[in-house]
Chains A and B, each alone.
Chain A
Amino acid sequence: MHLISIDDLTAADIDNLFRLSDGFLEVASRSIKKVPTLRGRTIVNVFMEPSTRTQSSFELAGKRLSADVINIKESSSSVSKGESLKDTILTLESYRPDIMVMRHPRVGASRMATRYTDASVVNAGDGTGEHPTQCLLDLYSLRRVYGEFEGLRVAIVGDVLRSRVARSDLFGFRKMGIEVSLVGPPTLMPPGIEYWGAPIHHDLDALEDVDVIYLLRMQLERAKGKVPPVPSLREYSRVWGLSPYRVKAGQRVMHPGPINRGVELSADLADDDRSLILHQVESGLAVRMAILYQCLAGSLSEEPTG
């Protein structure tokens, strides 16, 4: 099984994944946090774009499942010598890995990789395309906090245009029955997103009626060659930056990280106990263990946490 897009999973698949995640979350609370489930299996993490959370989360998930994990990073790989993505994948395929986890700055790179390997490919973020495992860990955090998805209202705020997280979250959250709206400057809404039916708002006043405010980072590094969609970070944070007084009692704040304090959220809000940012990271490890397990489920005989 590959996991390239959140649309590769049905709601039932996701529910199943979260039942597995519950078990792995319990493992993380033990003093010995390792299970033998993927002993003898090989996982290659190919990270062609900087990452703290996703890379460490996948690496640790593989290790806690007792798999052999190797990490390829752009800065220390042959990519810096001009090697093509195709050749990198073909080279790694020679080791006959079971799972290839891939982060790449170009949309569709993970799907392309599936053509050159027999391993299960997991998309750990492809440019402005998708980030399905982020969506799954976000959902898992919501499930842990709220118990169920039905009726939850989430506003995704900010740079939706260039966010792979927003793309996976919008479609993944709605799959589970969550009402999703998009909030931010009109220039940060992807043209054509209105065809997909999510309500679009341009002012933070629209946050009044939601349960969860999901903030996104301004991805200035993806602005090349275009007129920047907002005039300045100063104006962005003045109009669309979130600070504690704009968060109502009972509302929760999420963010995929990395956060830019003082831009999309104020420093004190980042540290506020209404923020689920670190809770998301914790969920990420359990969910990724479940994903790695599920990728190979057909060929495994043991129960995951046995």
Chain B
Amino acid sequence: MDTSTRPSAPKLTCRAAPPETFVIPSVHLFDPQHGVDLVGDLLVEEGKIAGWGDALRAPEKVEILDDLAGCWVFPGFVDPHAHLRTPGHEYKEDLTSGPLAAAAGGYVAVVAMANTDPVADCGPVAAWILDEAAREAVVRVGQVGAVSRGLKGEELAEIRELADAGVVAFSDDGRPIADADLLLQALRYTRGIGRPLLIHLENRSLSVDGVMHEGRWSARLGLRGVPAACESGPLARDLEIVRYVDAEQKRQGGTRGGVVAGVAAASGGGAVSSGPPAAAVPLIHFQHLSAAASVRLVRQAKAEGLPITVEATPHHLLLTDELLTGFDQNLKVNPPIRSAEDRAALVAALADGTVDCIGTDHAPHAPQEKEVPIEDALFGTTGLETAFAALHTGLVLTGQLSLERLVEAMSGAPCRVLGLAEPRLEEGAPADFCVVDLEERWRVAPETLRGKSRNCAFLGETLTGRVRLTVADGARRFARARGED
């Protein structure tokens, strides 16, 4: 009998697929974080990266994917922040459509938030989702457990039970943790479990009925605004609490780390083997940062060495409040798209690492929830299918961000936030990568999207860069011919 009471490892699950063997000729292999930047043929053998170069000794009769020449191969993307809406809101997204949208965006793993119905606030709900994903999902799904019972912000959810069910992190995302004592208790209680809290910053007394960023354009349009302090205020409080708990835990000794599992180590049936020990995960990962004031606070906190990480979404990095003049409900998001100055600060922060990674906050909604006056519309935009192309178009091609940094922020960085082994283009590593045509231009239209909902902030935009193939857990999970929608 196993008498250990240590928490078990996080699980990421997807549909099992037989490990594949194939060659992709003449591609640009690009994983600078792990020292790979070259043009050649890529051999995948039995689901593992077997080698690359000009004169590959491929096995006899191996399948050759010869329509991808000239494309770039990146380590697979990992989204630390998505809403897959299951259970309870399957009319918006489910565990088939959400992971398919992820695969279409080059993602090999996606982390689902806990604000489902029922809420993922106990072991059985989380376990059910992971089992369901093991039957339906084309790429891995990691599940987040609630911090508080019912997301009510009053008392702790059964966090140890959730950890043992395999959740990758804890979050009340969609709602802030208003009660400082709850946050303090949660940070202490998760010690030793090795999984971070993902925090949605929002002072609800400042955001009530707000539709957009409070500033020049909210004044012009007459829409109720949400001030930047709605985010930076609670951030300042949370940083103080992190500073306090971090010092306390250092005095107490030991490590924060728990059991490490890998995106790259997960296999389709749901089993996860332990990966190499990663650096300790942050105490708090702040979600969807939007304001320049918040960037300043994070920069100070990181200079001080506080164990925090930060994500930004493609829409906050690319869009500004002025766009709300069109009253496009898909631009109504929480936190709101902010001013040009805020956007510039976020982009600079992503470039210099103050913002660690990209999280999409993929938030699908049904037409009836969006096709209403903007004041009544639900918050959220989808993001999985457009994240890379939009950021490549808006930041890389305009010279604001390097391609290397973008790939890192979408692949390795989110894995380090969550303590997961990173996908890598490395001989012997599990095949977890995407193949992208960096030149293909496409117009984001509802029919180009695989997800169940089409409430995308980038609808109508023409983007450059298209995911042509996603290989996850050793098998092809999504493929698109050149020019296909």
Contact = CB atoms under 8 A, between A and B. Distances in A.
Interface stretch (A173-181, A239-247, A298-306): A239-247
B208 interface: no
B248 A229 contact: no
A235 B158 contact: yes
Given A187-B189, A227-B156, 11 more contacts: A194-B252, A200-B252, A204-B5, A227-B155, A227-B181, A228-B155, A229-B189, A231-B149, A231-B157, A234-B158, A235-B161
30 contacts: A185-B189, A186-B188, A186-B189, A187-B185, A187-B188, A194-B248, A194-B251, A200-B252, A202-B191, A203-B4, A203-B5, A203-B192, A204-B5, A205-B5, A227-B154, A227-B156, A227-B181, A227-B182, A228-B156, A229-B185, A231-B149, A231-B156, A231-B157, A232-B158, A234-B158, A235-B159, A235-B161, A238-B161, A239-B160, A240-B5
Interface of B: 1, 3-6, 149, 154-161, 179, 181-182, 185, 188-189, 191-192, 248, 251-254
Interface residues of A, number: 26
Interface in A238-269: 238-240, 245-246
Closest 9 CB pairs of A and B: A231-B156, A186-B191, A186-B188, A194-B252, A202-B192, A204-B5, A194-B251, A235-B158, A231-B158
A186 B156 CA distance: 13
A186 B192 CA distance: 9
Contacts of B252: 189, 194, 200
B179 A205 contact: no
Nearest to B189: A187
A186 B159 CA distance: 13
A230 interface: yes
A220 to B, nearest CB: 12
Contacts of A202: 191-192
A43 B157 CA distance: 49
Contacts of A185: 189
Contacts, number: 64
Contacts of B6: 203, 205
Interface in A181-238: 185-187, 189, 191, 194-195, 200, 202-205, 226-232, 234-235, 238
A231 B248 contact: no
Contact of A246 (B3, B157, B159, B179): B3
A227 B179 contact: yes
A231 B155 contact: yes
Given A205-B6, A229-B185, A246-B3, A238 B192 contact: no
Contacts of B248: 191, 194
A228 B191 CA distance: 16
A186 B182 CA distance: 14
A187 B182 CA distance: 11
B254 to A, nearest CB: 8
Contacts of A231: 149, 155-160, 189
A232 B1 CA distance: 25
Nearest to A236: B160
Contacts of B155: 227-228, 231
Nearest to B190: A186
A194 B254 CA distance: 12
Contacts of B154: 227
Contacts of B191: 186, 202
Contacts of B251: 194-195
B181 A226 contact: yes
Contacts of B158: 231-232, 234-235
A231 B161 CA distance: 10
A229 B1 CA distance: 29
Contacts of B253: 194, 200
Contacts of B160: 231, 235, 238-239
Nearest to A200: B252
Contact of B185 (A227, A232, A239): A227
Contacts of A239: 5, 160
Contacts of A189: 252
Interface in A152-187: 185-187
Contacts of B181: 226-227
Interface string A138-149: 000000000000
A191 B188 CA distance: 10
A208 B196 CA distance: 28
Contacts of A204: 5
A229 B191 CA distance: 13
Contacts of B192: 186, 202-203
Contacts of B156: 227-228, 230-231
B120 to A, nearest CB: 14
A234 B149 CA distance: 14
Contacts of A191: 248
Contacts of A228: 155-156
B189 A245 contact: no
B480 to A, nearest CB: 45
A24 to B, nearest CB: 41
A204 B157 CA distance: 21
Of A186, A189, A203, A204, the most chain B CB neighbours within 10 A belong to A186
A162 to B, nearest CB: 14
Contacts of A235: 158-161
Interface in A73-109: none
A245 B3 contact: yes
A184 to B, nearest CB: 11
Nearest to A191: B248
